[in-house]
Structure 1
Protein backbone atom coordinates (compact mmCIF):
# COMPACT_ATOMS: atom_id res chain seq x y z
CA UNK A 1 0.00 0.00 0.00
CA UNK A 2 1.26 3.46 -0.94
CA UNK A 3 1.74 5.81 2.00
CA UNK A 4 3.28 9.23 2.67
CA UNK A 5 3.46 10.75 6.15
CA UNK A 6 3.58 14.41 7.08
CA UNK A 7 3.61 16.12 10.46
CA UNK A 8 -0.18 15.80 10.88
CA UNK A 9 -1.34 13.48 8.11
CA UNK A 10 -1.07 10.08 6.49
CA UNK A 11 -1.65 10.04 2.74
CA UNK A 12 -2.51 6.51 1.71
CA UNK A 13 -4.34 4.46 -0.87
CA UNK A 14 -8.11 4.56 -0.59
CA UNK A 15 -9.77 1.64 1.20
CA UNK A 16 -13.34 0.40 1.18
CA UNK A 17 -13.67 1.67 4.78
CA UNK A 18 -13.25 5.22 3.41
CA UNK A 19 -16.35 5.01 1.24
CA UNK A 20 -18.98 6.52 3.56
CA UNK A 21 -16.73 9.38 4.73
CA UNK A 22 -15.87 10.12 1.08
CA UNK A 23 -19.57 10.16 0.19
CA UNK A 24 -20.30 12.45 3.16
CA UNK A 25 -17.73 15.02 2.00
CA UNK A 26 -19.35 15.09 -1.45
CA UNK A 27 -22.77 15.85 0.07
CA UNK A 28 -21.69 19.06 1.79
CA UNK A 29 -23.36 22.08 0.14
CA UNK A 30 -20.11 24.08 0.17
CA UNK A 31 -18.30 21.23 -1.62
CA UNK A 32 -21.03 21.06 -4.27
CA UNK A 33 -20.89 24.75 -5.24
CA UNK A 34 -18.54 24.18 -8.16
CA UNK A 35 -19.77 20.77 -9.33
CA UNK A 36 -22.65 19.64 -11.50
CA UNK A 37 -25.40 17.95 -9.50
CA UNK A 38 -24.72 14.64 -11.28
CA UNK A 39 -21.08 14.82 -10.13
CA UNK A 40 -22.21 14.81 -6.49
CA UNK A 41 -24.50 11.80 -6.60
CA UNK A 42 -23.64 9.54 -3.62
CA UNK A 43 -23.56 6.46 -5.86
CA UNK A 44 -20.94 8.16 -8.03
CA UNK A 45 -18.67 8.56 -4.99
CA UNK A 46 -19.23 4.93 -4.02
CA UNK A 47 -18.19 3.96 -7.55
CA UNK A 48 -15.19 6.30 -7.38
CA UNK A 49 -14.03 4.68 -4.13
CA UNK A 50 -13.89 1.30 -5.90
CA UNK A 51 -12.25 2.84 -8.98
CA UNK A 52 -9.53 4.49 -6.88
CA UNK A 53 -8.84 1.19 -5.12
CA UNK A 54 -8.51 -0.54 -8.51
CA UNK A 55 -6.25 2.21 -9.86
CA UNK A 56 -3.91 1.79 -6.89
CA UNK A 57 -3.14 -1.74 -8.13
CA UNK A 58 -2.31 -0.76 -11.72
CA UNK A 59 1.24 -1.24 -12.96
CA UNK A 60 2.66 1.08 -14.00
CA UNK A 61 0.66 3.31 -11.74
CA UNK A 62 -0.82 6.42 -13.38
CA UNK A 63 -3.07 7.72 -10.62
CA UNK A 64 -2.38 8.47 -6.96
CA UNK A 65 -5.89 9.19 -5.65
CA UNK A 66 -5.08 9.14 -1.96
CA UNK A 67 -7.06 9.27 1.24
CA UNK A 68 -6.03 11.96 3.70
CA UNK A 69 -6.04 10.52 7.19
CA UNK A 70 -5.64 12.75 10.23
CA UNK A 71 -2.79 11.23 12.27
CA UNK A 72 -4.12 12.19 15.66
CA UNK A 73 -7.66 10.85 15.18
CA UNK A 74 -7.17 8.28 12.41
CA UNK A 75 -10.14 9.91 10.67
CA UNK A 76 -10.56 10.07 6.87
CA UNK A 77 -10.75 13.82 6.21
CA UNK A 78 -10.37 14.14 2.45
CA UNK A 79 -8.55 13.22 -0.72
CA UNK A 80 -5.57 14.47 -2.67
CA UNK A 81 -4.60 13.18 -6.08
CA UNK A 82 -1.88 13.27 -8.68
CA UNK A 83 -2.68 11.91 -12.13
CA UNK A 84 0.24 11.25 -14.43
CA UNK A 85 -0.17 12.31 -18.05
CA UNK A 86 2.00 12.21 -21.15
CA UNK A 87 5.26 14.14 -21.46
CA UNK A 88 5.95 14.12 -17.69
CA UNK A 89 2.89 16.26 -16.93
CA UNK A 90 0.61 15.65 -13.95
CA UNK A 91 -2.66 17.12 -12.77
CA UNK A 92 -3.50 17.50 -9.12
CA UNK A 93 -6.75 17.85 -7.23
CA UNK A 94 -8.13 17.64 -3.72
CA UNK A 95 -11.12 17.77 -1.45
CA UNK A 96 -11.26 18.25 2.31
CA UNK A 97 -13.97 17.81 4.91
CA UNK A 98 -15.38 21.16 5.93
CA UNK A 99 -14.39 20.72 9.57
CA UNK A 100 -10.72 20.72 8.57
CA UNK A 101 -10.78 23.48 5.96
CA UNK A 102 -8.70 26.56 6.71
CA UNK A 103 -6.35 24.59 8.97
CA UNK A 104 -3.42 24.36 6.55
CA UNK A 105 -3.83 20.58 6.29
CA UNK A 106 -4.66 20.64 2.58
CA UNK A 107 -1.49 22.61 1.87
CA UNK A 108 0.44 20.04 3.91
CA UNK A 109 -1.12 17.14 1.97
CA UNK A 110 -0.67 18.71 -1.46
CA UNK A 111 2.94 19.71 -0.76
CA UNK A 112 3.81 16.15 0.22
CA UNK A 113 2.24 14.63 -2.88
CA UNK A 114 3.75 17.25 -5.19
CA UNK A 115 7.18 16.71 -3.65
CA UNK A 116 6.77 12.97 -4.24
CA UNK A 117 5.76 13.61 -7.85
CA UNK A 118 8.70 15.85 -8.59
CA UNK A 119 11.31 13.75 -6.75
CA UNK A 120 10.18 10.16 -7.35
CA UNK A 121 7.98 10.24 -10.44
CA UNK A 122 10.13 12.71 -12.39
CA UNK A 123 7.18 14.99 -13.13
CA UNK A 124 8.23 18.08 -15.10
CA UNK A 125 5.05 20.17 -14.69
CA UNK A 126 2.08 19.95 -12.31
CA UNK A 127 -1.14 21.77 -12.94
CA UNK A 128 -4.63 22.20 -11.57
CA UNK A 129 -7.77 23.41 -13.30
CA UNK A 130 -10.60 24.95 -11.31
CA UNK A 131 -13.63 27.16 -11.68
CA UNK A 132 -12.47 30.80 -11.76
CA UNK A 133 -14.88 31.66 -8.92
CA UNK A 134 -13.30 29.05 -6.62
CA UNK A 135 -11.11 31.48 -4.71
CA UNK A 136 -10.12 28.92 -2.07
CA UNK A 137 -8.75 26.52 -4.69
CA UNK A 138 -6.87 29.30 -6.47
CA UNK A 139 -5.39 30.51 -3.17
CA UNK A 140 -4.31 26.93 -2.37
CA UNK A 141 -2.63 26.56 -5.76
CA UNK A 142 -0.82 29.86 -5.36
CA UNK A 143 0.38 28.85 -1.88
CA UNK A 144 1.86 25.76 -3.55
CA UNK A 145 3.92 27.95 -5.87
CA UNK A 146 1.63 27.63 -8.87
CA UNK A 147 1.10 30.49 -11.25
CA UNK A 148 -1.92 31.21 -13.39
CA UNK A 149 -1.27 30.08 -16.96
CA UNK A 150 -4.70 30.28 -18.56
CA UNK A 151 -8.20 31.63 -18.17
CA UNK A 152 -10.87 29.93 -20.26
CA UNK A 153 -14.04 31.94 -20.69
CA UNK A 154 -17.36 30.12 -20.41
CA UNK A 155 -15.52 26.80 -20.45
CA UNK A 156 -17.89 24.56 -18.40
CA UNK A 157 -21.66 24.45 -18.36
CA UNK A 158 -23.52 23.25 -15.27
CA UNK A 159 -26.07 24.57 -12.78
CA UNK A 160 -27.80 26.25 -15.74
CA UNK A 161 -24.89 28.59 -16.47
CA UNK A 162 -21.49 28.87 -18.11
CA UNK A 163 -18.44 29.02 -15.86
CA UNK A 164 -14.94 30.31 -16.54
CA UNK A 165 -12.05 28.05 -15.57
CA UNK A 166 -8.42 28.78 -14.79
CA UNK A 167 -5.29 26.66 -15.02
CA UNK A 168 -2.46 27.12 -12.54
CA UNK A 169 0.84 25.26 -12.76
CA UNK A 170 4.37 24.94 -11.45
CA UNK A 171 7.45 23.49 -13.14
CA UNK A 172 9.83 21.16 -11.34
CA UNK A 173 12.65 23.71 -11.78
CA UNK A 174 10.53 26.36 -10.02
CA UNK A 175 9.28 24.12 -7.20
CA UNK A 176 10.50 25.23 -3.80
CA UNK A 177 9.11 23.24 -0.92
CA UNK A 178 8.29 25.77 1.78
CA UNK A 179 10.32 25.36 4.93
CA UNK A 180 8.50 23.85 7.90
CA UNK A 181 7.75 26.32 10.64
Structure 2
Protein backbone atom coordinates (compact mmCIF):
# COMPACT_ATOMS: atom_id res chain seq x y z
CA UNK A 1 0.00 0.00 0.00
CA UNK A 2 1.26 3.45 -0.95
CA UNK A 3 1.79 5.80 2.00
CA UNK A 4 3.28 9.22 2.68
CA UNK A 5 3.64 10.56 6.20
CA UNK A 6 3.82 14.17 7.25
CA UNK A 7 3.89 15.72 10.70
CA UNK A 8 0.16 15.27 11.29
CA UNK A 9 -1.06 13.06 8.45
CA UNK A 10 -0.89 9.65 6.83
CA UNK A 11 -1.63 9.99 3.12
CA UNK A 12 -2.38 6.53 1.80
CA UNK A 13 -4.22 4.47 -0.77
CA UNK A 14 -7.97 4.45 -0.28
CA UNK A 15 -9.59 1.22 0.87
CA UNK A 16 -13.16 0.01 0.78
CA UNK A 17 -13.28 0.74 4.52
CA UNK A 18 -13.05 4.45 3.64
CA UNK A 19 -16.30 4.40 1.68
CA UNK A 20 -18.66 5.59 4.43
CA UNK A 21 -16.44 8.50 5.49
CA UNK A 22 -15.81 9.43 1.83
CA UNK A 23 -19.54 9.48 1.09
CA UNK A 24 -20.20 11.51 4.25
CA UNK A 25 -17.59 14.06 3.17
CA UNK A 26 -19.22 14.37 -0.26
CA UNK A 27 -22.68 14.96 1.17
CA UNK A 28 -21.75 18.07 3.14
CA UNK A 29 -23.58 21.05 1.58
CA UNK A 30 -20.49 23.24 1.74
CA UNK A 31 -18.51 20.58 -0.12
CA UNK A 32 -21.20 20.37 -2.82
CA UNK A 33 -21.29 24.11 -3.61
CA UNK A 34 -18.96 23.86 -6.57
CA UNK A 35 -20.07 20.54 -8.05
CA UNK A 36 -22.88 19.69 -10.45
CA UNK A 37 -25.93 17.85 -9.14
CA UNK A 38 -24.93 14.47 -10.65
CA UNK A 39 -21.46 14.89 -9.13
CA UNK A 40 -23.02 15.23 -5.67
CA UNK A 41 -24.94 11.96 -5.58
CA UNK A 42 -23.88 9.57 -2.82
CA UNK A 43 -23.88 6.57 -5.18
CA UNK A 44 -21.31 8.30 -7.36
CA UNK A 45 -18.93 8.49 -4.39
CA UNK A 46 -19.49 4.83 -3.57
CA UNK A 47 -18.50 4.00 -7.14
CA UNK A 48 -15.53 6.37 -6.99
CA UNK A 49 -14.24 4.69 -3.85
CA UNK A 50 -14.22 1.35 -5.65
CA UNK A 51 -12.57 2.94 -8.70
CA UNK A 52 -9.82 4.53 -6.58
CA UNK A 53 -9.07 1.19 -4.92
CA UNK A 54 -8.78 -0.44 -8.36
CA UNK A 55 -6.61 2.39 -9.71
CA UNK A 56 -4.17 1.89 -6.84
CA UNK A 57 -3.37 -1.56 -8.29
CA UNK A 58 -2.63 -0.38 -11.84
CA UNK A 59 0.88 -0.77 -13.24
CA UNK A 60 2.21 1.61 -14.27
CA UNK A 61 0.23 3.74 -11.91
CA UNK A 62 -1.43 6.83 -13.39
CA UNK A 63 -3.58 8.02 -10.51
CA UNK A 64 -2.76 8.61 -6.87
CA UNK A 65 -6.24 9.21 -5.42
CA UNK A 66 -5.36 9.02 -1.76
CA UNK A 67 -7.07 9.08 1.61
CA UNK A 68 -5.96 11.66 4.15
CA UNK A 69 -5.88 10.09 7.59
CA UNK A 70 -5.27 12.13 10.73
CA UNK A 71 -2.19 10.60 12.31
CA UNK A 72 -3.32 11.05 15.91
CA UNK A 73 -7.02 10.15 15.67
CA UNK A 74 -6.80 7.62 12.82
CA UNK A 75 -9.84 9.30 11.21
CA UNK A 76 -10.34 9.54 7.44
CA UNK A 77 -10.55 13.30 6.99
CA UNK A 78 -10.35 13.85 3.25
CA UNK A 79 -8.75 13.07 -0.07
CA UNK A 80 -5.89 14.38 -2.16
CA UNK A 81 -5.04 13.24 -5.66
CA UNK A 82 -2.36 13.50 -8.30
CA UNK A 83 -3.39 12.29 -11.77
CA UNK A 84 -0.52 11.72 -14.18
CA UNK A 85 -1.00 12.89 -17.76
CA UNK A 86 1.10 12.79 -20.94
CA UNK A 87 4.26 14.87 -21.22
CA UNK A 88 5.06 14.72 -17.49
CA UNK A 89 2.02 16.81 -16.56
CA UNK A 90 -0.18 16.09 -13.54
CA UNK A 91 -3.40 17.51 -12.14
CA UNK A 92 -4.01 17.83 -8.42
CA UNK A 93 -7.21 18.02 -6.40
CA UNK A 94 -8.30 17.65 -2.80
CA UNK A 95 -11.17 17.78 -0.35
CA UNK A 96 -11.27 17.93 3.44
CA UNK A 97 -14.00 17.30 5.99
CA UNK A 98 -15.34 20.56 7.37
CA UNK A 99 -14.41 19.68 10.97
CA UNK A 100 -10.73 19.66 9.97
CA UNK A 101 -10.68 22.76 7.79
CA UNK A 102 -8.88 25.94 8.70
CA UNK A 103 -5.80 24.52 10.41
CA UNK A 104 -3.42 23.83 7.53
CA UNK A 105 -4.03 20.10 7.13
CA UNK A 106 -5.08 20.28 3.48
CA UNK A 107 -2.01 22.41 2.74
CA UNK A 108 0.15 19.79 4.45
CA UNK A 109 -1.42 16.97 2.40
CA UNK A 110 -1.27 18.76 -0.95
CA UNK A 111 2.30 19.91 -0.36
CA UNK A 112 3.38 16.33 0.40
CA UNK A 113 1.79 14.99 -2.78
CA UNK A 114 3.22 17.77 -4.96
CA UNK A 115 6.64 17.07 -3.50
CA UNK A 116 6.22 13.36 -4.24
CA UNK A 117 5.17 14.14 -7.82
CA UNK A 118 8.14 16.35 -8.54
CA UNK A 119 10.81 14.48 -6.57
CA UNK A 120 9.83 10.83 -7.08
CA UNK A 121 7.71 10.73 -10.24
CA UNK A 122 9.62 13.27 -12.31
CA UNK A 123 6.58 15.43 -13.00
CA UNK A 124 7.41 18.64 -14.89
CA UNK A 125 4.20 20.61 -14.21
CA UNK A 126 1.35 20.29 -11.71
CA UNK A 127 -1.90 22.14 -12.34
CA UNK A 128 -5.28 22.59 -10.68
CA UNK A 129 -8.58 23.79 -12.11
CA UNK A 130 -11.25 25.25 -9.87
CA UNK A 131 -14.40 27.33 -9.98
CA UNK A 132 -13.47 31.02 -9.63
CA UNK A 133 -15.81 31.42 -6.64
CA UNK A 134 -13.95 28.69 -4.72
CA UNK A 135 -11.82 31.16 -2.79
CA UNK A 136 -10.47 28.53 -0.40
CA UNK A 137 -9.13 26.43 -3.29
CA UNK A 138 -7.55 29.47 -4.90
CA UNK A 139 -5.86 30.46 -1.61
CA UNK A 140 -4.58 26.90 -1.14
CA UNK A 141 -3.14 26.75 -4.66
CA UNK A 142 -1.42 30.11 -4.30
CA UNK A 143 -0.02 29.15 -0.88
CA UNK A 144 1.58 26.13 -2.57
CA UNK A 145 3.24 28.30 -5.19
CA UNK A 146 0.81 27.64 -8.06
CA UNK A 147 0.29 30.65 -10.28
CA UNK A 148 -2.79 31.52 -12.31
CA UNK A 149 -2.39 30.66 -15.98
CA UNK A 150 -5.92 30.98 -17.30
CA UNK A 151 -9.38 32.31 -16.50
CA UNK A 152 -12.13 30.69 -18.55
CA UNK A 153 -15.31 32.75 -18.52
CA UNK A 154 -18.63 30.89 -18.22
CA UNK A 155 -16.78 27.62 -18.73
CA UNK A 156 -19.03 25.23 -16.75
CA UNK A 157 -22.80 25.10 -16.44
CA UNK A 158 -24.47 23.53 -13.39
CA UNK A 159 -26.88 24.45 -10.61
CA UNK A 160 -28.73 26.64 -13.12
CA UNK A 161 -25.86 29.03 -13.81
CA UNK A 162 -22.60 29.53 -15.69
CA UNK A 163 -19.35 29.40 -13.72
CA UNK A 164 -15.91 30.75 -14.53
CA UNK A 165 -12.96 28.41 -13.98
CA UNK A 166 -9.38 29.22 -13.08
CA UNK A 167 -6.32 27.14 -13.96
CA UNK A 168 -3.24 27.46 -11.75
CA UNK A 169 0.04 25.67 -12.26
CA UNK A 170 3.54 25.13 -10.92
CA UNK A 171 6.61 23.81 -12.71
CA UNK A 172 9.24 21.64 -11.07
CA UNK A 173 11.88 24.40 -11.25
CA UNK A 174 9.50 26.81 -9.49
CA UNK A 175 8.76 24.19 -6.83
CA UNK A 176 12.46 23.77 -6.08
CA UNK A 177 12.79 27.50 -5.43
CA UNK A 178 9.53 27.58 -3.46
CA UNK A 179 10.83 24.84 -1.14
CA UNK A 180 14.02 26.80 -0.50
CA UNK A 181 12.07 30.02 0.11
CA UNK A 182 9.60 28.29 2.45
CA UNK A 183 12.18 26.05 4.17
CA UNK A 184 10.11 22.97 3.22
CA UNK A 185 10.89 19.42 4.22
CA UNK A 186 9.97 16.37 2.18
CA UNK A 187 7.35 13.89 3.40
CA UNK A 188 8.35 10.42 4.45
CA UNK A 189 7.59 7.83 1.75
CA UNK A 190 6.75 4.52 3.39
CA UNK A 191 6.45 2.35 0.29
CA UNK A 192 8.28 2.31 -3.03
CA UNK A 193 6.77 4.02 -6.06
- For Structure 1 versus Structure 2, the TM-score category normalised by the shorter chain is over 0.9
SS in 2 for 1:74: coil
* Offset of residue 134 of structure 1: 0.4
State the 4+ residue runs in structure 1 displaced beyond 3 angstroms: none
Say whether residues 1:126 and 2:126 are aligned partners: yes
* Offset of residue 180 of structure 1: 5.4
- 1:87-136 CA-partner distances (Å, limit 9, x unpaired): 00000000000000111000000000000000010000000000001000
Distance 1:52 1:64 in 2: 8
2:188 corresponds to: none
Distance 2:184 2:104 in 1: 12
Give the alignment of 1:13-162 within 5 angstroms. 13-162=13-162
SS in 2 for 1:25: helix
2:5 corresponds to: 5
More relative contact order, 1 or 2 (CA 8 Å, 6+ apart) = 2
Q: Runs of 5+ in structure 1 lacking a partner?
A: none
RMSD: 1.0
TM-score (norm 2): 0.92
TM-score (norm 1): 0.98
